[in-house]
Amino acid sequence: MSHFTLATQLAPEEYRILDAIEISMRKFEWVPLKNILFYANLEHERVNFWLDKVHKKGLIIRHSGKPEGYVLNSMGYDLLATHALAEQDIVVSIGNSLGVGKESDVFQGIGPTGEWLALKFHRIGRTSFRAIKNKRDYVVGKFHTSWLYICRVSATREADHLKQLNGIGADVPVLRGHNRHVVVMKQYNGQEIQEFPTLDDPRGIFEQVIRNVKKIYHEAKLIHSDLCEYNIIYTDDKKVIIIDWPQAVSTDHPNAAMLLRRDIENVCKFFGRHGVNVDPEAIVVEITGT
């Protein structure tokens, strides 16, 4: 896919229809036409015309049974988020896929200064959505409301954590913006460490990771909680970047000790395979100072 410019994806009336449906999805499983009429702020006769357009473009789901109504699907939600990011001058265009995670799609983007970006679209529950997609309509509607909400919460958490971590100068992606279920970061050229058959300096990389975990533990009071070789990028200019922060928890979380230990064990196990032999327990003590 080549890059496309975001600002010109839909007509203004189409965004208004999507906005109106989004607002009412907080209250309705299937958003009634009268709510769309109320919020879209368009002439009555035009609403049906534009509603039909966004439906044909595959951005909303129409429920013709009882109750009659509409919901956004994930593409409609994506367009609302990317449109807002374009309006806020955070993202100018969007292009190739950088990775498909279990719970996200990450795409390359370009910012207003020409900077390369990574746009992470949170897609929590995608697999269960696929599984129930063909069941009764009301299930889809009900699921979709929570899907929207859960994905937005997850992205908001990740953006908040990144902002905090950027503030202490940790080696994590620099946050450029956030809207709805989308987090915008600087893009890093490199690979997840698990992709390297051999690492050129395993001990040095290991130490960079642990230095960051310790700094983050003390200065941001956070624990990653999903730290592993899939969430550590080693860049072409030999820098460590720790990614994937929605699930991070505070150091006073009831499971903090267990989560920190698990993170350290994952890291030690991976680097052990690259000849770095360390005792995870000693590392935990070194980090917490207890």
- Residue ranges binding Mg ion (CB under 5 A): 101, 231, 244
Phi, psi of 286 (to 5 degrees): -60, -40
Least Å distance, CB 93 to ligand ATP, is: 16
Q: Does 266 bind ligand ATP (CB under 6 A)?
A: no
Integer Cα distance of 136 and 116 in angstroms? 42
User: Using the rule CB under 6 A, which residue among 109, 111, 173, 202 binds ligand ATP?
Assistant: 173
188 binds, among ligand ATP, Mg ion, none (CB under 5 to 8 A by kind): ligand ATP
Integer Cα distance of 101 and 106 in angstroms? 8
Q: DSSP assignment, residue 193?
A: G
Integer Cα distance of 27 and 280 in angstroms? 48
Q: Is the peptide bond before 67 cis (omega within 30 degrees of 0)?
A: yes
Integer Cα distance of 11 and 105 in angstroms? 25
User: Using the rule CB under 6 A, which residue among 83, 120, 180, 181 binds ligand ATP?
Assistant: 120
**212 versus 231: smaller Cβ distance to Mg ion:** 231
Least Å distance, CB 119 to ligand ATP, is: 9
Short-list 215, 204, 203, CA closest to 171: 215
User: Using the rule CB under 6 A, which residue among 17, 40, 42, 118 binds ligand ATP?
Assistant: 118
User: Using the rule CB under 6 A, which residue among 79, 170, 243, 260 binds ligand ATP?
Assistant: 243
Integer Cα distance of 267 and 227 in angstroms? 7
Assess contact for 248 and 209: CB atoms under 8 A: no
Q: Does 104 bind ligand ATP (CB under 6 A)?
A: yes
**48 versus 96: smaller Cβ distance to ligand ATP:** 96
Assess contact for 219 and 168: CB atoms under 8 A: yes
- The stretch among 57-65, 99-107, 126-134, 277-285 that binds ligand ATP (CB under 6 A) is 99-107
**104 versus 179: smaller Cβ distance to ligand ATP:** 104
Q: Does 98 bind ligand ATP (CB under 6 A)?
A: yes
Assess contact for 69 and 61: CB atoms under 8 A: no
Q: Does 185 bind ligand ATP (CB under 6 A)?
A: yes
Least Å distance, CB 99 to ligand ATP, is: 3
Buried residues in 23-33 as b, exposed as e (16+ CB within 10 A): bbbeebbbbee
Short-list 247, 234, 244, 173, CA closest to 208: 234
209 binds, among Mg ion, ligand ATP, none (CB under 5 to 8 A by kind): none
**Residue count, binding to ligand ATP (CB under 6 A):** 18
Residue ranges that bind ligand ATP, judged by CB under 6 A: 98-99, 101-104, 106, 118, 120, 173, 185, 187-188, 192, 230-231, 243-244
